[in-house]
Amino acid sequence: GKRKIQVGILLFLVALTIRLSFYFIASNKLPPSLQKFVTADTIFYYDPIALEMASGSHTQASLLSVTRFTFLGYLSLFYRYLGHWYLPVSVFHCFLGALSVVFIFLAARIFLEEKIALAVGLVASFHVVLVYWTPFVTTEVAFLLLLSISIYLCGLFLKTKKPLYLFSLIVLLSIMP
């Protein structure tokens, strides 16, 4: 109980520190074309839709109803309230990436011993690919978070057989992109 919470908080802080440090250091050291951590699919596909949604246009209303809790939904909220600025989205992604590490640890803890689950959490905290892609303004970070929560809920359901976990998993899977 209490130890699991302490380890989860510690893993979150370690993962967040690594991701934010990478983002702010890389923002100054990478070539200018990569400093914004934006890919072509964001610029040419997601940005126009999110900007249109942020403006309050109803042409994308059906898309918003499907993705309101996923990437386009929160991207449009950032654009609406903070303007077309990538930095807050990248910092938010660092938080989501760190939260993913916690759920990876919690899922591992269901099936594995505490020391092994801690090792899994530390590997996820320091994993180069997970750290590198976290600040990018793409769908991968949101997907990883939803996937790690899904695995955790699946593990809880298998362990406890409580229908609440299965229902939560079904709801979560219904909002995944």
Average pLDDT of the residues in 47-62: 73
Tell me whether residue 14 is exposed, middle or buried, using C-beta atoms within 10 angstroms of its C-beta: 0 to 12, 13 to 18, 19 or more.
middle
Average model confidence (pLDDT) across the chain: 86
Average pLDDT of the residues in 107-126: 96
More reliable by pLDDT, 18 or 176: 18
List Cβ neighbours of 52 (8 Å cut-off, separation of 6 or more).
59, 60
The least confident of 15-19, 48-52, 56-60, 80-84 is: 56-60
Average pLDDT of the residues in 76-88: 89
Q: Residue 60 pLDDT > 60, yes or no?
A: no
Between helix 71-82 and helix 47-54 the angle, nearest 10°, is 60
**Which contacts (CB < 8 Å, 24+ apart) does range 45-51 have?**
46/71, 46/72, 46/75, 46/137, 46/138, 46/139, 47/84, 49/76, 50/75, 50/76, 50/79, 51/76, 51/79, 51/84
Average pLDDT of the residues in 99-120: 96
What are the tens digits of pLDDT across the range 122-169? 999 999 888 988 888 888 888 889 899 999 999 999 999 999 999 998
The pLDDT, as a whole number, for residue 20 is 94
Q: Residue 175 pLDDT > 80, yes or no?
A: no
The pLDDT, as a whole number, for residue 1 is 84
More reliable by pLDDT, 74 or 126: 126
The pLDDT, as a whole number, for residue 140 is 85
Q: Residue 50 pLDDT > 90, yes or no?
A: no
The pLDDT, as a whole number, for residue 62 is 54
Q: Residue 66 pLDDT > 60, yes or no?
A: no
